[in-house]
Amino acid sequence: MMGITINQLGYRNKDTKTAVFAGENEGFKLISQENGEVVWEGETLISLDDAASGMTVSKLDFSEWQQPGTYYVKMNNGSQSEPFLIGEEVYEEAHQALLKAFYYFRCGMDLEEQYAGDWKHGKCHLTPAIVYGDETRKVDAWGGWHDAGDYGKYVGPGAKAVADLLLAFECYPKAFARMVPLPETDGVMPDVLHECRYELDWMLRMQDNKSGGVFHKLTTLRFPSADTMPEDDTEELYVSPISATATGCFAGIMAMAARVYDRFDAAFASSCLIAAEAAWEWLTLHPEYPGFRNPSSIVTGEYGDKLDTDERYWAAAELYRTTGEARYHEAFQQLAEFSFDKYELGWADMGGYGTISYLMSEREREAGLAEQLQAGLQEEAGKLAAVCRQDGFGISLLPEQYIWGSNMVLLNQAMLLLIADRLGGTTAYERLVLDHIHYLFGMNAVGMSYVTGFGSKPIRHPHHRPSEGDGVDEPVPGLVSGGPNVGVQDEYAREHLTGKAPAAAFADVMESYSTNEVTIYWNSPAVFVLSHFV
């Protein structure tokens, strides 16, 4: 990073407005782009040797200036930032695009020009999938969202993505008043729920109607080449065996959906609850079940997970919140006694969703357990806040957390801070969350917006097969990149990023899938976080 990094989307009038300068303390000016007038002068805050970026950085704060317009920051040494906006609606278009991205991830239908614009393409992956290990049986599980830069579809990660979107709708319904629009837009049910239903319908097809268990994933045996369009990926499809983690996630998200959709489509809500209860029955009949591993001839994304206690915990919480049945409350209390992370929001650790559901529930709760979980949530938020105050860019990532999908970690933690505020009745963490948004859209060690199509310097070459193969210069808009990854886990990263500081270990190239891939469950927490500010 050189010079000054900013939130390239801009800043809301009354929000905290910060930028980061790579250098020692120095004076700066805020200048109107329109007429060159200096409207604000200040000094950078104390400089800091930032461990994550490996740089000495200084924070600029011009929060007191609230006049709408286009501005840039100029340091006394002559370096200056890109122009940026100050205004009330700087996040609306990005929020809309982050949500619209899920439409672009759709599998099994034509993405028509009316809705997809330049990024239109044909229907794909419509053939029934072979049940791995039972070659005589097939499952017609079309639809849903492609998971990432490839065309696999996975129940656990899909459940995490839908959970984030449904939570965003529950917490911030007004943020979804505007139509996307989508083919299903009807002016009655919000488009976020239409979009989630497309994934939920696919998940329902992934449930084994004999046992109630849920197949782990649906993929080809191996990934297609990097420029393959979805409709050209015609290899045989397979569903991998049932897993406890997929079944637990399925039970949790279906119980949640039953509650959210009830006032819009009671019949669909009822089908979700029936499916959730059947999955729960499978879980009770299989209290100890081996963790999922890829079958020997399948080399697509594994999403392996040895521990299913957190998924069961989430399922019990959602089933209790939706039905009020004592058996689910008892199961939740029993599962809460096990040792696992009860505040994590990742696809492998779903415990945070169970905790949030229980604490947000209107049902009667066990007072001691609720108090314990609330205290733990606030403690976790306090730890994240402490990291923010030590970080050069004001975010909650420790140097060792710049892993594959570090932007998901960043956004999950921003989500948790907002939920801690909500459940604590405070606004203590809102300012810190804004720095997470500033980081995502350019106030970071590489000076790029990590969202395609947004900002003055957005990523342009994500690891995303449709963006690579469609012949369109610009990538599909609204996709969140994985972000810096000190693990250098692809060939390009090993050659070009080895030895880089954690926050700088990023490459905007298709080949660097370990830093620049996109996924549905990196977009989903971004939608949640921006929903708070629109």
Catalytically active residues are: 150, 463, 508, 517
CA distance 442 to 439: 5
User: Is residue 315 within 8 Å of 251, Cβ to Cβ?
Assistant: yes
Q: Is 529 exposed, middle or buried (0-12, 13-18, 19+ CB in 10 A)?
A: buried
User: Is residue 363 within 8 Å of 324, Cβ to Cβ?
Assistant: yes
User: Residue holding tokens 């619209």?
Assistant: 100
**Residue 283 identity (one-letter amino acid):** L
- Beta-carbon-side half-sphere exposure of residue 206 (alpha carbons within 13 Å): 33
CA distance 419 to 352: 11
Q: Is 266 exposed, middle or buried (0-12, 13-18, 19+ CB in 10 A)?
A: exposed
Instruction: Give the 3-state DSSP-derived string for 91-108, with helices as H, strands as E and coil as C.
Output: CHHHHHHHHHHHHHCECC
Instruction: Give the 3-state DSSP-derived string for 145-180, with helices as H, strands as E and coil as C.
Output: ECCCCCCCEEHHHHHHHHHHHHHHHHHCHHHHCCCC
**Helix, strand and coil in the chain, % to nearest 5:** 40, 15, 45
With a CB cutoff of 8 Å and minimum separation 6, the contacts of 197 are 184, 261, 268
- Measured CA to CA in angstroms, residue 106 lies from 153, 191, 273, 361, 514 at distances of 10, 14, 24, 32, 23
